[in-house]
């Protein structure tokens, strides 16, 4: 029997049953091993929103994002190649 890769997934425990939050692609009656870790705090959606706000705040602080650039180098050619362009 081939060993499947481990997956981490969220589930809700209700009335004695673990209900996955997302669709699970396993055949019916497949035996699995669960490691239960209670998750208190923000939901996944709230956590993603918080991470997005933190990312935007960092990019604004660093001066990135507003100009559509992905780096902060004044001379991007030198940053990519390690050499300076002739002026």
Q: Give the model's pLDDT for residue 51.
A: 84
User: Both tokens of residue 35?
Assistant: 């490691």
User: Both tokens of residue 61?
Assistant: 């602080």
Q: In this predicted model, what pLDDT tens digit does every residue of 30-51 receive, in sequence order?
A: 898 888 887 776 677 777 888 8
pTM above 0.75, yes or no: no
Q: In this predicted model, what pLDDT tens digit does every residue of 58-81 receive, in sequence order?
A: 877 766 655 555 555 666 666 666
16: left (phi over 0), alpha (psi -120 to 50) or beta: left
3-state secondary structure 29-68: CCCCCCCCCCCCCCCHHHHHHHHHHHHHHHHHHHCCCCCC
Q: Give the model's pLDDT for residue 72.
A: 56
Nearest to 77 by CA among 67, 85, 68, 69: 85
């Amino acid at each position: 029997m081939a060993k499947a890769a481990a997956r981490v997934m969220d589930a809700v425990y209700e009335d004695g049953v673990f209900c996955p939050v997302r669709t699970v692609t396993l055949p019916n009656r497949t035996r699995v091993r669960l490691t239960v870790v209670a998750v208190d705090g923000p939901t996944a959606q709230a956590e993603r929103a918080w991470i997005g706000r933190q990312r935007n705040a960092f990019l604004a602080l660093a001066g990135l994002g507003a100009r559509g650039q992905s780096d902060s180098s004044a001379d991007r050619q030198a940053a990519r190649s390690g050499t300076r362009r002739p002026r």
